[in-house]
Amino acid sequence: MTGEMMKALLCERHGPPEDLILTDTLRPVPGPGQLLIAIEASGLNFPDALIIQDKYQMKPALPFSPGGEAAGTVAAVGEGVERLRVGDRVATLTNWGTFADYVVAPAEHTTIVPDSMDLETAGVFTLAYGTSHHALKQRAMLKPGETLLVLGAAGGVGLAAVEIGKAMGAHVIAAASSTDKLEIARRHGADELVNYGEVDLKATVKALTGGKGVDVVFDPVGDRLADPAFRSIGWEGRYLVIGFAGGNIPTIPLNLPLVKGASIVGVFWGDFVARTPDLHRANMDELYHWHSEGKLAPLISARFPLERGGEAIRWMMERKAVGKVVVTVGGAG
Ligand SMILES: NC(=O)c1ccc[n+]([C@@H]2O[C@H](COP(=O)([O-])OP(=O)(O)OC[C@H]3O[C@@H](n4cnc5c(N)ncnc54)[C@H](OP(=O)(O)O)[C@@H]3O)[C@@H](O)[C@H]2O)c1
């Protein structure tokens, strides 16, 4: 294997997505416990925009390729890997490196894609659906009949949270910045819609819940939405801190959780996968099963070939992405 080449979209210096360069580079070789995967499709996620600007918590050495998840086929296995074989259709997580023909990934973080799912869908499925499922199941302990408010509800993790919330039996209020985005959330199962570009979030959610407030808030946006969202939570509510796509990391006055008997619940899915890979794979089995039953239908709204991966990141930074965006690689081997 040593010395074989592949194409990769490389970040050679930190900066905007326009600086990414498609380059011939050495194909990596899997070490113990690792796999080499010939990539078919790679999902775009918000951290891809941060990592190339050196604004993400993980800081790979330059040069590196962005892209934190992918699906494809196993091309080689490292020492000690028994669960997976060459030729298996798989989906994996790597934090970076998947905007390339091949990536080396830990076998522990890799799942076998069932025949019921195509590899393009699998390439965008793990990170968004895995995050939202872990957040709602293990962190919020969402129960059937509870009310769930999802912010950024047409985004990657947001739309996944809408679908998973419905699959878990919740009443889902989708909140987003435009009518078009809310229409997408409605088509994916949302029961009620709130346009926070136009109406007051707290007052509208309170009215929709008869003054009671919601049981769970799923917040991937933060910034100026966090305060009104927290104020629309009800007694013993759980506020899921997912991310800060809006830009600023908000602060919440601690008297608010006190008077509501409510919890602020952090979600760090990447660490959850690393610390409890068996539980992660069990979660993915449940998600694959729900997908095969038609309960989950990931939306792929845009496709970019590998050489235009930078345009895909720009698309997301301009808030144009809905559901998932895929970087197609294909034909790698
Ligand atoms: N905690 C974890 O383990 C974990 C795991 C995965 C992702 N995340 C985080 O979750 C967040 C969302 O990720 P994603 O991949 O779902 O992103 P995404 O598809 O771009 O969705 C983000 C949503 O945030 C809203 N938004 C508000 N201001 C924005 C801005 N200035 N730029 C872009 N979007 C803005 C947009 O909805 P509206 O236009 O409707 O407001 C958009 O749909 C990110 O912060 C990411 O880092 C966290």
Pocket lining: 193 vs ligand 1, CB cutoff 6 Å: no
pLDDT band at 3 (very low <50, low <70, confident <90, very high): confident
Residue-number span of the structural domain to which 26 is assigned? 5-113+299-328
Average pLDDT of 143-148?
98
Domain count, the chain: 2
Together in a domain, 57 and 147: no
Pocket lining: 27 vs ligand 1, CB cutoff 6 Å: no
Mean residue pLDDT of the chain comes to 96
- What does the pLDDT look like over 313-331, one tens digit per residue? 999 999 899 999 999 997 5
Pocket lining: 269 vs ligand 1, CB cutoff 6 Å: yes
- What does the pLDDT look like over 85-112, one tens digit per residue? 999 999 999 999 999 999 999 999 999 9
Ligand 1 center from residue 152 Cα (angstroms): 7
Provide the CATH number for the domain around residue 20.
Answer: 3.90.180.10
Residues 6+ apart with CB under 8 A from 69: 42, 43, 45, 91, 92, 93, 94, 98, 123, 124, 126, 127
Q: Which atom of ligand 1 is nearest to the CA of 325?
A: 19
| Residue found by looking up tokens 């509501």 in the block | 260
pTM, rounded to two decimals: 0.96
Together in a domain, 229 and 305: no
In this structure, is the dihedral angle defined by the CA atoms of residues 237, 319, 66 and 81, taken in order, positive or negative? positive
Q: Report the pLDDT value the prediction gives residue 170, as an integer from 0 to 100.
A: 98
Q: Which long-range contacts (CB under 8 A, 24 or more apart) does 120-123 make?
A: 120/40, 120/41, 120/71, 120/300, 120/326, 120/328, 121/291, 121/298, 121/300, 122/41, 122/71, 122/89, 122/91, 123/39, 123/40, 123/41, 123/42, 123/43, 123/69, 123/70, 123/71, 123/72, 123/91, 123/326
Pocket lining: 72 vs ligand 1, CB cutoff 6 Å: no
Pocket lining: 233 vs ligand 1, CB cutoff 6 Å: no
Question: How many Å apart are CA 140 and CA 135, to the nearest integer?
Answer: 6
Pair 219, 240: CB distance under 8 Å:
yes
Answer yes or no: is 263 within a domain: yes
Q: Report the pLDDT value the prediction gives residue 331, as an integer from 0 to 100.
A: 52
Provide the CATH number for the domain around residue 240.
Answer: 3.40.50.720
Q: Which atom of ligand 1 is nearest to the CA of 269?
A: 3
- What does the pLDDT look like over 260-283, one tens digit per residue? 999 999 999 999 999 999 999 999
Encode burial over 265-303: b for 16+ CB neighbours within 10 A, e otherwise.
bebbbbebbeeebeebbebbeebbebbeeeebebbbebe
**221, 273, 326: residue to mutate for ligand 1 pocket, most atoms within 8 A of CB:** 221
**46, 244, 299: residue to mutate for ligand 1 pocket, most atoms within 8 A of CB:** 46
Pocket lining: 304 vs ligand 1, CB cutoff 6 Å: no
Together in a domain, 45 and 99: yes
Pocket lining: 323 vs ligand 1, CB cutoff 6 Å: no
Ligand 1 center from residue 130 Cα (angstroms): 15
Q: What percent of the chain has pLDDT over 90?
A: 97
Together in a domain, 172 and 256: yes
Answer yes or no: is 122 within a domain: no
Strand partners, 93: 69
Question: How many Å apart are CA 107 and CA 281, to the nearest integer?
Answer: 11
Is pLDDT at 232 greater than 70 in this prediction? yes
Average pLDDT of 283-303?
97
Q: Report the pLDDT value the prediction gives residue 332, as an integer from 0 to 100.
A: 42
Q: Report the pLDDT value the prediction gives residue 333, as an integer from 0 to 100.
A: 37
Pocket lining: 321 vs ligand 1, CB cutoff 6 Å: yes
- What does the pLDDT look like over 65-80, one tens digit per residue? 999 999 999 999 999 9
Together in a domain, 166 and 107: no
Structure tokens at 222: 């933060």
